[in-house]
Structure 1
Amino acid sequence: MCRSSCNNYSTLSISIFFLLLLCVDNSLEVVAYGDPTLGFIPVPLTQANLKLQKPYDIPLDQRYSYEHGIHWLWVYADDKPHEPTSHTQPRTEIRISGLDYNSGVWQFEGYGFVPNGTSGATIAQIHGAAHGATTLILRIYNNGEMRYYSRDLVAENLYDKWFRLNIIHDVDGGTVSVFIDGKKKFHTKDKGPGDLYFKCGVYAAPANISYYMESRWRDIKIYRL
């Protein structure tokens, strides 16, 4: 009688153990492949928060258009910078204005599209840092590779398709994480607090590869914890 009861108890314990393991595995999968905005609070964002930066000597409509909820941004490698006094590379970018931050946990979300041929262009960034001008730069290179600056590979095969980009900046923790289509693809230390803000669009690299650069963006959102 005891042996039968003990065997039943052992079988039940093993079943519960494997069930718990399954639950843990599923939980980890949700963390790794779930919605990175879970637990975050949406920050109100209007067109007034989307400040356009473009070559200073060219009308905006020659480098930017907004149709059917999609921001189209393009620039040429020999364009002027966004201000006459600037010595930076040419850009057509959306600067998230009025939501600068220097502490806490903040998140950028947007759906991006980069056509084949755009190479060497920054398509998203966190501007500002304690050390340097930027905390994060995401560039697109040949074959649709996304890289952290020109170094670490973040994602591949991003040409000619919409992808969801989420960037989480934990200023207090000193880290930045990048998600593509809900999957965490990159994690690194940041460069210290500063006057921080998000940007997206196209910004030529110092040694740019392609002459014409373009990206498209829709459903841009900002979140915070």
Structure 2
Amino acid sequence: METPALHTRRSVLALALTAPLLVAPAAQALAQPPSAQWVSAPYTYTVQKPYNLALSSRYKFSGGVHTTWVYDYDQPHTQGSPTDPRTELRFHQEYSSGSRAWEGEIYIPAGVSGPTVVQILRGSRPSGTRATDVMLNVANINGGTLRKDNNQVVATGIYNKWFKIRVEHTAVAGGRGTVRTYYNGALKLTHQDEGPATRYFKNGVYHHGSGRAEARFRNITYWRR
């Protein structure tokens, strides 16, 4: 689990928008992993935010909670980028094979619609292939709906309460692996990834909708096996 005391400043990366942070594995996991083979591991991340704004304008860490927000009119995190505005924790741990998992509790205020709150981004991938293996998006329907992309529903009625998400990925070098998404401990989706790539986890708000998008995160744990 993550506490403010576990944060350690690192040197500023040339392209980082804020100093990367190191988070040690929790002594007690948020929940027992589905398999005893999973072990929690330390992780580092950089907070990506609109390039022209101070970090404090779109991100806050207080009381063990990461609060991320962005507006539809905000700039991208890199000047000139065609991507949508975001405030996201970009994990530095990259992998092309083996099993990794992101787990944490998420809170979405009522009315938020459009952001991706958790994703696996394929940073280095064959030309013409998809940029992500999974994107968990929020829609303002049925009391708040979390779904993979814009079709496969993970959960409804998610607004104004904490819920737990776990995304497991077993990557296969040179082939296609498997992604599993859990909601409050129950397996909701299983699908193939997009094939060979070097990838990493992200969480926050990558906003494709209108107005203000906000998501809060706590008890983030990074797993591997």
More strand by share: 2
Do residues 36 (structure 1) and 34 (structure 2) align? Answer: yes
Q: CA deviation at 1:85?
A: 2.8
Letter in 2 for 1:165: I
Q: CA deviation at 1:72?
A: 0.5
My pick for the range that moved more, 143-152 or 36-45, is 36-45
Give the Cα–Cα distance (whole angstroms) in 2 for the partners of residues 103 and 80 of structure 1: 34
Give the Cα–Cα distance (whole angstroms) in 2 for the partners of residues 36 and 218 of structure 1: 20
Do residues 59 (structure 1) and 57 (structure 2) align? Answer: no
Give the Cα–Cα distance (whole angstroms) in 1 for the partners of residues 77 and 35 of structure 2: 32
Q: Is the 8 A contact 1:107 1:224 kept in 2?
A: yes
Q: CA deviation at 1:121?
A: 0.8
Give the Cα–Cα distance (whole angstroms) in 2 for the partners of residues 65 and 37 of structure 1: 33
Q: Show CA shifts across 1:147-185 (max 9, x none).
A: 111121111111111111100001126110000111101
Letter in 2 for 1:202: V
**For 1:196, what is the secondary structure of its paired residue?**
strand
* Percent sequence identity over aligned pairs: 37
1:198 maps to 201
**For 1:74, what is the secondary structure of its paired residue?**
strand
More helix by share: 1
Give the Cα–Cα distance (whole angstroms) in 2 for the partners of residues 163 and 178 of structure 1: 13
Do residues 100 (structure 1) and 94 (structure 2) align? Answer: yes
Give the Cα–Cα distance (whole angstroms) in 2 for the partners of residues 92 and 117 of structure 1: 18
Give the Cα–Cα distance (whole angstroms) in 1 for the partners of residues 109 and 145 of structure 2: 12
- CA distance change for structure 1 residues 203 and 37 in 2, over 3 Å: closer, same or farther? farther
1:187 maps to 190
Do residues 223 (structure 1) and 223 (structure 2) align? Answer: yes
Q: TM-score, normalised to structure 1's length? A: 0.79
Give the Cα–Cα distance (whole angstroms) in 1 for the partners of residues 149 and 224 of structure 2: 24
* Equivalent in 99, 116, 125 of residue 122 of structure 1: 116
1:137 maps to 135
Q: CA deviation at 1:38?
A: 3.7
Give the Cα–Cα distance (whole angstroms) in 1 for the partners of residues 35 and 165 of structure 2: 11
**Which 5+ residue runs of structure 2 have no aligned equivalent?**
1-31
Give the Cα–Cα distance (whole angstroms) in 1 for the partners of residues 196 and 223 of structure 2: 18
1:20 maps to none
Q: TM-score, normalised to structure 2's length? A: 0.79
Letter in 2 for 1:204: H
Q: If you compute each CA radius of gyration, which structure gives the higher value, 1 or 2?
A: 1
Letter in 1 for 2:185: G
Runs of 4+ in 1 over 6 A off after TM superposition: none
Q: CA deviation at 1:36?
A: 2.9
**For 1:115, what is the secondary structure of its paired residue?**
coil
